Structure 1
Amino acid sequence: MPFPQERPRRLRRTEALRALVRETELAPSDLVWPLFAAPGQRVRNPVKTMPGVFQLSVDELVAEAQAGYEAGVRSVILFGIPTRKDATGTSAWDDGEPVPRAVRALKKDVPGLVVMTDVCMCEYTDHGHCGVLKPARVGAPGTDLVVDNDLTLPLLAKEAVAHAKAGADVVAPSDMMDGRVGAIRKALDESGYQDVPIMSYAAKFAGAFYGPFRDAAESAPREGAGIPKDRKGYQMDPANVREALREVALDVAEGADLLMVKPAVPYLDIVRAVKERFELPLAAYHVSGEYAMIKAAAERGWIDEDRVAVETMLCCRRAGADLVLTYYAKHVAGLLSGVRR
């Protein structure tokens, strides 16, 4: 019916009425907190491009995760700053490096926490790419390099198995190599970790929102002769929707248990398209550049940081994300649950 019979404002009149008919809910348990594990003790290095984010030694990381847990955050995902880097990222599967150590410590000291681990080579290679480099053409000189897909797969599988051995609840490949979900699933199963799920970065775009993360993880591609200057050769073109759905379908077929779209807010159309077509749990990664933009505007007094942060996470959920990975996890969880730290 037209106005005056139809008055949608009737159900917006009070907070109680608005809550009664609210279509989308946001809870602390919907949030996954990315944390950066670093070598050493009592290390808390601030990331200059991400206010409030730190590289943390294992002891500090456990304390931070405990504080997040008390605020309602029930899941974290770990990234590593290794003690050494080389051309093939061998420290990625070293049991003594920060990520496996952090996994063991978290499972011991925060037993109710779901511990996810990022599986990629970029943090561990001295060139900063997500896989092994080789000459672009057979017989070509080594001055024109590309990331070799098939040589990278067994390395990712070794990293995933090392994380599962340490006790990771979920492994999350973010490299965007073709076939990596199948390779990791096979390696986990053959190693006795058939119950460890894979959360695939199924549609990860080569966007412009990752810069601050590369400061935090020390994973920017290195400038050098023949080294690709960016990751456009394996991460997705931001222009493509159909290709994203194809990528997701392939990962589902290879055995992914959870899916992810990255970044989040500029790609909510992709989140919605994936949600409508696939039945697996879906995550959206609110990435470092998105976080940094809110922080920068809030520091200048241009926006209400708390309201914008909560609204952003809610909109990710409304678009179809079951989980939101965000550096705001503890902060937003505290706002939602009334715990402020």
Structure 2
Amino acid sequence: MPAQAPISRDVARQAAHWLVLMHEQPLSAAQQQACARWRATNPEHERAWQRVQHVQHQLGSLPSAMAMGTLNRERRQALKTLLVLAAMAPAGYFSYRFGAGQGWMADYRTGVGDRQQLTLTDGSVVDLNTDSAVDVRFDAGQRLIRLVRGELLISTGIDPAGRPLRVASEQGIMEPLGTRFSVRQFSGITQLAVLQGRVRATPAQAAPKVVEAGEQVQFSREAFGPLRPASELSTRWTQGQLVAENMRLSDFLQELSRYRPGRLHGDESVSDVRISGGFQLDNSDAILAALPMTLPVKVEYRTRYWVTVSKA
């Protein structure tokens, strides 16, 4: 049977069952034999098994047995459903659709175009931007917020127990010193913007740097980029606005694309066109419709989810 052939839902569900069971607890000898028999019964069973294992590899790992035991019914069912859908999907579709699973099991997450505000147990207020995900782990030694994907803005609370607050990204750790700041995760880069107070940023493989109010910096695991001014205007997404100040239209469209599903592309001919103003993110189609009224551009819809902006 071709590797690309569809896998039935029933077989995908059985494969997901075995994989989740294996992570819930060590399989007994009888269970191991039963799983082996199931895989050998039909070539489609083995294909489904290989597919869910491939999904596990893309996710990085599934929860350990101890962590699996702490998942509530809703999240356990979400895990099984994701495995079933991924096993049934064509090869490569999972990586495209789910971004290799980043954030799908996070404690808090937002969809494309959505925003959410959280008030944590220590009084810290966290705003999540579009397509973002965070894990929150408070224990006896620290208050840890892990940015899995996207962007957050945090106003830190005061912990009576004096536990340090830390925000972790892929590239390092940020420790606020009573402050308000934003963190955005790019591919291979973290962007930190401090609006009030100070933040000590420590890349995984570099010495720390203290970033002051009104400053922002990007850093990799190995080094910091130059300090640049930080502006409150960059946080207006919390109020549903995208603010542009003499921004290149290509950069503006790239930012706007974060808030709408599908593909929004700016042709090279409009790269250096400049745009300024405040735009309501809850209606990105209205933003696109207004562009030709003020700029020498045209907006072409191939479909609702495939839009190109080019020179008029």
Shorter-chain TM-score above 0.5: no
Q: Identify, as 1 or 2, the structure richer in strand.
A: 2
- TM (norm. structure 1) is 0.27
Larger Rg computed on CA atoms: 2
Higher normalized contact order (CA 8 Å, seq sep 6+, divided by chain length)? 1
Q: Identify, as 1 or 2, the structure richer in helix.
A: 1
- TM (norm. structure 2) is 0.29
